[in-house]
Structure 1
Amino acid sequence: MILREFLYVDTDKVRAMLAQLDGGVAEEERETSSQEKRYTVGPRSVAQHLQVAGSERYTQKSLGDAIFPTLEEALESEGLLRDISEEAADHSQWNSGGLERIAPPGSLVRITAMGSLFDTRYAASVFSAYASVALGLQGIGVDLTDAPKKTPPGKGKSGHQGPRPKPGQVQPERQLEDAIVDFQGPGGVDGNSLRSIIRMARGIFAPGLHINLSPVDSGNVLIGSRLQEGRQYLDTEADILFARYGTEPQEWTLVGSVGSYGPKDTTVPDFNFFNPDGSVDRGKFANSINGLMKHLGGMGFIDLPQHPGFSLIPFAAYRTIPRSSSIVALRE
């Protein structure tokens, strides 16, 4: 028996898949039986004896953690789920395109590999906390750097502030990096550099919790999976998740469907979407915009799969709980 520690389960998707395979998910069971005997003596208005016997058994089953293993077993028995962990660890499978032939977009796969969590929101909160500590230390006389303190033009002593809106002007929406105040830290690290890093992170990884698997030892292949909030088990704040699991790579198992592979050809489109009569060809226009996004994704600038990796739409993400080595030795 495999024990799993679930980080994420998309219960809606799992239920939908089980409903297609088994016609539904049994979560309630009710059994009722009754027996009634009636005896009447004399006129009905004078006397009667009524004996009723019955029993009812009611059980409500909350499948919880059992929902996903049930689906996993059902998919495997139907030959719909393939474990591609070994193939994904083979660099030649990626270079030859063999993995895409084995697991094309839409196929259901399970992959176990080293991976780590990433959330731009958490990175921004950490940088903001670091800046606050640095300012606090400087406030009590601790010199973090021998470099002269510089206040960027237009910035107040209280920290980073954007331009003040004019009367009647709508206040611009605050971004994640706005919480990082101005400071001067060791090694040339300052508030502006950390804000710039978060601006990049917002584009490269859309804010939210990601699991990035690196199945190849060289680390040049990335399988990206964005965990959707509001699903079962993913109801913990990002800082709690990172406090529990850390930022170092560890072995994760992802089960889901292959979304799309990073395109190999990421040349910039020519943006020729006009018809001879001067009207816009809507199909060509959409393809041109998608081609530009594909180019930016190939450069790693936006949150799209990058060649030769792919995106995975997750059903579940979990760690396998290892058995005690002494117990395993006894069983052997």
Structure 2
Amino acid sequence: MILREFLYVDTDKVRAMLAQLEGGVAEEERETDREEKRTTVGPRTVAQHFQGVGSERYTQKSLGDALFPMLEDALESESLLRDISEEVTNTDLWNTEEIQRMAPPGSLVRITAPGSLFDSRYVANSFSAFAAVSMGLQGIGALESPPPRQNSGKNPKGQQRKPKPGEVTREELEDSIPDFRMKSGETIVDAVDLRSILQVSRGVFAPGLHMNLSPVESSDILITSRLQEGRQYLDSESDILFARYGTEEQEWTVVGSVGHYGSKDPVQPDDAFFNSNGAVSRGKLASFMNAHMRTLAETGFVDLVQYPGVSLIPFAVYRSIPRAAGVIAAR
């Protein structure tokens, strides 16, 4: 029996798919036992004896962790789920696009590979903490205060629009880093530097928790999964998850459906998206803009899959719990 530690389970998707395979998901169990004995002497109005013994046991249980293993077994029994953990380690299969033929978009796969978490919100929190500690050390005289950065007098954060009450903007991530300047040896780091790094982080990976699998050592091939918040088992803040699992690669397993592959040499279509009558063709405009997005994906500047990588729509993300390697000798 394999014990799993689940990082993420999309219970809604798991229930829906399991219901299609099994015709429903049982979450109740009811068992009833009853014995009856009747004895009648003479007319019914004269004497009667009745003895009844009954018991009923009713249990309503949430299948919880059992839901996904049930789905996994059902998919494998129907030959709907394929484990491609070994195939994705072969660079030649990626370069020849054999992986795409083996697991086309929409197919269900299981991949076990070295992986790590990434969240630009955690980057922002870490940089903010770094700035706070630096300012604190300077305040108590334990760290040298370098001269201020020379600038044109503009706000170092840039001219940003103030958000409306209740509005959440991505710029708030940069705003979480206070103004500071620190010198370590000959290196000087300040808020402007860290905000620039954070801008790159949130542009390449949109704020949210990502699981990035790297099946080959070069990390040129990335298998990405965006873990949707509000699902069961993903109920911790990013700071807590990173404190628990860290930023180093570990062996993770992702089970889900193939979303899409990165585009190889995307072709830029003609920008003539007007009809002969001068009206904008909605279909041509959408194709034109999507082609632009595919081109940007190749630069790595936006949160889209880069060739030859692939995105997975995760049903579950977990790591296996290893068994003890031996018995510790008694002292």
Give the counterpart of 1:182 among 176, 179, 184.
179
How far 1:283 moved relative to its partner?
A: 0.5
Structure 2: which 5+ runs fail to align?
Answer: none
TM-score w.r.t. length of structure 2: 0.88
Structure 1: which 5+ runs fail to align?
Answer: 328-332
Within 5 Å, give how 1:154-233 maps onto structure 2: 154-155=154-155, 170=164, 173=168, 175-186=172-183, 187-233=187-233
Per the alignment, do residues 219 and 176 of structure 1 end up closer, same or farther by CA in structure 2, a change over 3 Å counting? same
| Bigger Cα displacement from structure 2, 185-194 vs 296-305 | 185-194
The equivalent of 1:140 in structure 2 is 140
Instruction: Give 3-state SS (helix, strand or coil) of 1:265's partner.
Output: coil
| 8 Å contact from structure 2 (residues 261, 309) kept in 1 | yes
| 8 Å contact from structure 1 (residues 32, 56) kept in 2 | yes
| 8 Å contact from structure 1 (residues 160, 181) kept in 2 | no
- Structure 1 CA distance, aligned partners of 2:140 and 2:110? 53
- Structure 1 CA distance, aligned partners of 2:303 and 2:237? 22
Per the alignment, do residues 55 and 237 of structure 1 end up closer, same or farther by CA in structure 2, a change over 3 Å counting? same
- Structure 2 CA distance, aligned partners of 1:275 and 1:69? 53
- Structure 1 CA distance, aligned partners of 2:301 and 2:120? 14
How far 1:209 moved relative to its partner?
A: 0.6
How far 1:53 moved relative to its partner?
A: 2.4
| 8 Å contact from structure 2 (residues 7, 233) kept in 1 | yes
How far 1:134 moved relative to its partner?
A: 1.1
TM-score w.r.t. length of structure 1: 0.88
Per the alignment, do residues 266 and 185 of structure 1 end up closer, same or farther by CA in structure 2, a change over 3 Å counting? farther
Per the alignment, do residues 216 and 144 of structure 1 end up closer, same or farther by CA in structure 2, a change over 3 Å counting? farther
Instruction: Give 3-state SS (helix, strand or coil) of 2:181's partner.
Output: coil
The equivalent of 2:273 in structure 1 is 273
How far 1:131 moved relative to its partner?
A: 0.8
- Structure 2 CA distance, aligned partners of 1:48 and 1:87? 77
Identity of aligned residues (%): 64
The superposition leaves residues 277-296 of structure 1 with CA deviations (integer Å, 9 ceiling, x where unpaired) of 21111110111111111111
Instruction: Give 3-state SS (helix, strand or coil) of 1:8's partner.
Output: strand
The equivalent of 1:87 in structure 2 is 87
- Structure 2 CA distance, aligned partners of 1:324 and 1:113? 22
Per the alignment, do residues 144 and 79 of structure 1 end up closer, same or farther by CA in structure 2, a change over 3 Å counting? farther
| 8 Å contact from structure 2 (residues 27, 60) kept in 1 | yes
Amino acid of the residue matched to residue 277 of structure 1? N
- Structure 1 CA distance, aligned partners of 2:121 and 2:201? 9
Instruction: Give 3-state SS (helix, strand or coil) of 1:30's partner.
Output: strand
The superposition leaves residues 90-144 of structure 1 with CA deviations (integer Å, 9 ceiling, x where unpaired) of 0000000010010000000000111100011111011011111111111222334
Within 5 Å, give how 1:1-332 maps onto structure 2: 1-35=1-35, 51-144=51-144, 147-150=146-149, 153-155=153-155, 170=164, 173=168, 175-186=172-183, 187-326=187-326
Amino acid of the residue matched to residue 230 of structure 1? G
| 8 Å contact from structure 1 (residues 110, 253) kept in 2 | yes
Amino acid of the residue matched to residue 177 of structure 2? I
The superposition leaves residues 197-234 of structure 1 with CA deviations (integer Å, 9 ceiling, x where unpaired) of 22222221111110001101111000000011111111
| 8 Å contact from structure 1 (residues 88, 94) kept in 2 | yes
How far 1:257 moved relative to its partner?
A: 0.3
Per the alignment, do residues 132 and 58 of structure 1 end up closer, same or farther by CA in structure 2, a change over 3 Å counting? same
Amino acid of the residue matched to residue 128 of structure 2? S
Per the alignment, do residues 74 and 135 of structure 1 end up closer, same or farther by CA in structure 2, a change over 3 Å counting? same
Amino acid of the residue matched to residue 118 of structure 1? F
- Structure 2 CA distance, aligned partners of 1:136 and 1:236? 29
| 8 Å contact from structure 2 (residues 134, 143) kept in 1 | no
Over the residues paired in the alignment, what is the CA RMSD in angstroms? 2.6
- Structure 1 CA distance, aligned partners of 2:192 and 2:135? 14
How far 1:33 moved relative to its partner?
A: 3.6
Per the alignment, do residues 317 and 249 of structure 1 end up closer, same or farther by CA in structure 2, a change over 3 Å counting? same
How far 1:273 moved relative to its partner?
A: 0.2
How far 1:43 moved relative to its partner?
A: 10
- Structure 2 CA distance, aligned partners of 1:170 and 1:60? 47
| 8 Å contact from structure 2 (residues 14, 71) kept in 1 | yes
| 8 Å contact from structure 1 (residues 160, 180) kept in 2 | no
How far 1:14 moved relative to its partner?
A: 0.9
| Bigger Cα displacement from structure 2, 187-196 vs 213-222 | 187-196
- Structure 2 CA distance, aligned partners of 1:45 and 1:200? 92
- Structure 2 CA distance, aligned partners of 1:50 and 1:248? 72
